[in-house]
A and B are shown apart, each in its own frame.
Chain A
Amino acid sequence: MILKDYFKTNGPLMGWILLGLTFFWIVMLIVLPQLYMFELSFHPHLPPPEMGGPNDYLTLENYKYLVFGAEGNPDGYNKVDLAVFVRTLTAAAFVTVVDLLLCYPIAYYLGQSTGGGFVRLLVLLLIIPYWINEILRAFAFKIIFGDSGVLNEFLMFFAIIDGPIDFIRANVALYAGLGYAYILLMIFPIYNVVESLDRNQIEAARDMGAPWWMIHKRIVIPYAKPGISSGCTMVFMLSAGALAAPQILGGPSSLWFTQLVYQWFNTGGNWPQAAAYAIVLLIACLIIVLGVMKLFKVNMGDIGK
């Protein structure tokens, strides 16, 4: 029925082309590679000629390694990797919360203002920095937050601090860099929803005496929930899966879980192990996102709004 209407509006040729492209995009570029990775994660690390040979078998050892470490590990658990794993997820959650606190007021202002040149300028100012590639932006943050960086120089010049603060080691640079990297992904979904909120509702609430915080709590935030959840989901997923920013801005003692995955893929050359790590990260992120969505009573369908 839906398909019939679909072909009616698009015509058979365009209909098949669109359908084919969507299929190609989803199945060939997303589902199949992930399935391949998933399957790979249950195999031992073998040189390519032996893959699928007599020495190949299905195993959980790659997953075991993440939890218990190499065999004969005296600690009993793979403390280093597990710590990185937990820290990555908490840091990503932290970045998400900070981004939300930062972006909600901006998105609200943009969405509720009656348009005009100033707002368009603001949006432009938000977008333009994203013409610069991610690596350069990360390095720019390194310059800002470095020992002799702009921020330290500024603080020392005004004698607010005596010596430079090691923002990099304290991970301030990393959090700032990650937070900044995904700011648009937080602002625009919220902006989109808030823009469609009827201003009369806010005025009606004001007319009934509601203070500003109550208007947000009872009217704006419930209405903006789909945008907020979609923004938070994207920022959390992308922060947890970021590689460039942690690589460049991360302190010397703080690894990001994606860096471990990267190491297994590249330096270690152990694809099954890397795949297992990546799958664990993906599933953990999904569980967290779905759990938080359930906690805040957000439906999957709302995210697409």
Chain B
Amino acid sequence: MSSGVDVDLKNLWIKFGDFVAVRDANVHINGGDFFSFLGGSGCGKTTILRAVSGFLDPAEGEILIGGNNMVGKGPNERPTALIFQNLALFPLMTVWENITFSLEVAGATKGERRKRADELLDMIALPDQGDKLPAQLSGGQKQRVAIARALCAEPDVLLLDEPLSALDLKLRHHMRAELREIQQRVGITFIYITHDQGEALTMSDNIAVMRTAVIDQIADGKSIYDDPSTSFVASFVGTNNLFRGKVTDISEGIATIDTNRTGTLRARVSTGATGKLGVGDDAMMFIRPEAFSIVKQKTETGTQIAATVQRSEFEGTSYNIYTEGGAGKEISVSVANRGDAHMYDSGTALNLVFDPHRAVVVPAGELASE
């Protein structure tokens, strides 16, 4: 298998008539990386994938694969292979014919194709299933056949368009690990499209989070989660408590926010928002439910919220406690299910304490709609 090659999108604009589907995207993908585009439906992530695979041409900009500009080249002229959302296996061909279709196109003999099919079937742990029809396979097996079919042509870049979305939850989780494992084994660049943040976070080396037509942030999963650049990313990835307010002070990377309903709070300015916030600006502060700890005694101001428990629920790995933190502001708190964690009666008064470095401040902006 070829080793991974870099993929670069430079000032990429994609339009359908007057509609701008992708606005000035700039992405660098390292060769051999598992790279995800994460975004809601209609954000343009699939459009980017189709442009990389060659099914549509950008209005402006460059698509470089291994340094070569691919704009204007058809899908068959690019070193990419695409796995479709519905897999698009050929229903009337056997599994082995499906897998080696690219070889058939290239004019390989039946013997060669059969041999290659057997190798790939071994790789995806489906030996002796080659003579079945796709319809006779389970969802996960079809998934693996689609991967084998795409890998058969030995592409430099594998493009995956939400291929796990049709599977049930358990299988989806299993296939995440399997996909990641296959990617590391073949060592080629994977570009993965998903709306499922769990998939993006667990599998990817790097993630591009897309708002409508725009890429908001490109970073590894931990940065996306802990250090979101924009209010959209903070609200899209994971659950977050949002506090709106005005910046009253910024010093040493910590902003003090006069929130509308919860008093004065302090938190770190996001790395991506550094320099974009000044005193007096509208800001949004995000605190993860798991970033709170519950204490009885009051501590210093600015990093604690006096709250009243509304209701609690037990979710197995954690307790979810829904509280009210001043003027009807709902704040959710997640407490890991360790020995001393427990439910709280509604009406209990709590002090929610957080580390200002585990909360983040970004300029006020668009939020992800649920």
Contacts and interface: CB of A to CB of B under 8 A. Distances in A.
B82 A209 contact: no
Interface in B22-76: 53-55, 74-76
A205 B104 CA distance: 11
B223 interface: no
B138 to A, nearest CB: 19
Interface in A176-226: 198, 200-201, 203-211, 214, 218-219, 222-223
Which applies to chain A's interface (DSSP): helix, strand, loop or mixed?
helix
Interface residues of A, number: 17
B14 to A, nearest CB: 17
Contact of B106 (A198, A205, A209): A209
Given A207-B53, A208-B153, A201 B88 contact: yes
Contacts of B74: 206
Contacts of A219: 90, 92
Contacts of B93: 218
Nearest to B103: A208
A222 B84 contact: no
B102 interface: yes
A206 B81 CA distance: 10
A221 B102 CA distance: 18
A204 B84 contact: yes
Nearest to A203: B55
B105 interface: yes
Contacts of B91: 223
Given A203-B55, A214-B105, A218-B93, A208 B88 contact: no
20 contacts: A198-B88, A200-B88, A201-B88, A203-B55, A204-B82, A204-B90, A205-B90, A205-B101, A206-B55, A207-B53, A207-B76, A208-B81, A208-B101, A208-B102, A208-B153, A209-B153, A210-B76, A211-B105, A218-B90, A223-B92
Query: Which 10 pairs between the two chains have the least Cβ-Cβ distance?
Result: A200-B88, A209-B76, A208-B102, A204-B88, A200-B84, A207-B75, A222-B92, A209-B105, A210-B105, A201-B88
Interface of B: 53-55, 74-76, 80-82, 84-86, 88, 90-93, 101-102, 104-106, 149, 153
